[in-house]
Structure 1
């Protein structure tokens, strides 16, 4: 078994940090890691279970992951929480972070922001994502007293000292909005760019949008498209939508309705709420495609179901019916 193997197989990569300490672990734990590398989750479950019952935190955490993601057994968030908690009480950092996440989201247990904050704080000493999550609890006053300044301090530590891309992005948002710090669009742009260079899709999209709109930077459609392209490589839905707009309107490039349709379709398939509205417009007006009222209604309905008000209004006018929404 090699670390390279684990990096290639999705879920198994969650166990990658544990491989680095496997030399100091039990034979059962090592056998469990070997089984994961071979995608033999039933064997991994057996090995980790035996070791976890002996009180070994790495196996307790690994067993929790199997329950959490339904590998070797059906998904069982209650048992995942239980095993995370056992490992967390032994100062297993990743278990503390995952346990906090379950409490925050109310998965496998009743939602409890106070407990989430407690475990995120424990994990944050060595875990940048936990620090980011704790910062957002402070940002919105969930389980802790609301404090944008505390959120800024945590995000700055996670982003600038630990290099955590999402934290750099979230810190940029606070600078852009002037929350906990003096409003500074230039500083926000710099932070977004640092996050984008770490291949964080949302930051790449945001840079594209800023260049697209000329917000805080000189409007530049070519740079907008370049950053949208990077974000599309990360499958970020809004980037496909933004690129579709540039192609439909011929901004920084020759107008290309067919490419716009392809991009809107991709964005819609990834859950974007406005992209299907754009598809509805194109089918209703016959722009780049034959006029098709039925298809237009179908696209408007999809957008309305994703709570886009303009789509709901247009659908109402075309059908005389109030659309269903998810609100």
Structure 2
């Protein structure tokens, strides 16, 4: 009926997103790309370390700790501003001391900057190390990027099992890119991951509900091709309409083809 065309990564400061082309003949092609965008909309501005929280709970040094957090936030905001304005060398200098103090969001950004190869910072192994620290600290974007590093073998030996682990953790925090990638792996089946179209639909639906246009498109294609059972043009049309409204051009083409079919009928 139609093929699923891969989308580019969402602009959410994440390193990369695995993409899929799914043909009606169930031929899969996995592509892992890279994109680092410049959005500060979802930054964690008030994150503090466990040791600081423990001290606050015990009532020890509350004023001093609060002042430290305020200074961290001010420096972090200045670093993010430099990053957005593409003053990467300055951003690197500002993020580094915060990262050394255990500030997860700064650790994430250092990983991004090393991935970007800013000045002397380009080092996949160092990027991996910062992503890992931030991921352990709970940053879902870092968890996603760490998974990509494991999937691609960048800065660390490739390990799909570990990639799945970190994508799962990131997905459970609502990261749509990670949810999409889990859908990709289950749709293809690779290595120790068995093909499971039901699980692929589950994760694509989560990503689609968050507004992921390609996940919406892929769901439409699954239903149009009958990959999950009987063909369901109503569900296919519903998801393709959402994808088209999200700006995914291939969805318009798919809708045009669908509505010209002799067996098409309006589901409205």
Q: Which has the higher contact order (CA 8 A, sep 6+)?
A: 2
Matched-pair contact (CA < 8 Å) for 2:45–2:76: no
Q: Which has the higher helix share?
A: 1
What is the root-mean-square deviation in Å for CA atoms of aligned residues?
3.0
What is the aligned partner in structure 1 of residue 92 from structure 2?
81
Once residues 80 and 160 of structure 2 are traced to their aligned partners in structure 1, the CA distance between those partners, rounded to angstroms, is 33
Shift of 1:120: 0.7
- Distance apart, 1:248 and its partner CA: 5.6
Matched, 1:252 2:264: yes
Residue of 113, 117, 132 corresponding to 2:128: 117
Q: In the alignment, which of 147, 154, 159 is matched to residue 135 of structure 1?
A: 147
Q: Indicate the residue corresponding to 1:229 in structure 2.
A: 241
Report the 3-state secondary structure (helix = DSSP H, G, I; strand = E; otherwise coil) of the residue aligned with 1:219: coil
Compare CA radii of gyration and give the structure with the larger one. Answer: 1
1:102, 1:108 within 8 Å by CA — same for their partners in 2? no
Q: Structure 2 residue aligned with 1:205, among 213, 217, 232? A: 217
Match 1:97 to one of 108, 129, 138? 108
TM-fit CA distance, 1:98: 1.6
The Cα shift of 1:247 comes to 4.3
Q: Relative to structure 1, is the Cα distance of residues 81 and 218 closer, same or farther in structure 2, using a 3 angstrom cutoff?
A: farther
- What is the TM-score normalised by the length of structure 1? 0.57
Count how many residue pairs are aligned between Structure 1 and Structure 2: 212
Written as runs of structure 1 = structure 2, the 5 A alignment for 1:301-312 is none
Residue of structure 1 in register with 2:41 after alignment: 13
Q: 2:175 pairs with 164, 172, 186, which one?
A: 164
Alpha-carbon separation, structure 1, partners of 2:103 and 2:200: 34
Which of 77, 93, 113 pairs up with 1:62?
A: 77
Task: Report the 3-state secondary structure (helix = DSSP H, G, I; strand = E; otherwise coil) of the residue aligned with 2:45.
Answer: helix
- Partner Cα separation in structure 2 for residue 248 and residue 108 of structure 1: 54
Alpha-carbon offset, residue 217 of structure 1 = 3.6
SS state of the match for residue 41, structure 2? helix
Structure-2 change in CA distance of 1:87 and 1:250 (3 Å):
farther
CA 185–84 in structure 1, closer or farther in 2 if over 3 Å, else same: same
Q: Which residue of 2 aligns with 1:195?
A: 207
The alpha carbon displacement at 1:84 in A equals 1.9
> How far apart in 2 are the matches of 1:109 and 1:237?
39
- Partner of 1:252, secondary structure, is coil
Distance 1:105 1:241 in 2: 35
Rounded Cα–Cα distance in structure 2 between residues aligned with 1:20 and 1:97? 13
CA distance in 2, matches of 1:233, 1:109: 42
| Structure 1 unaligned regions, length at least 5 | 1-9, 30-55, 255-327
SS at match of 1:144: coil
Secondary structure of the corresponding residue to residue 195 of structure 2: coil
Q: Note the residue ranges of structure 2 that are not aligned, 5 or more in a row.
A: 1-37, 49-62
Alpha-carbon displacement from aligned partner over 1:210-254 (angstroms, at most 9, x marks no partner) = 122222342222211211222234333433343343346577358
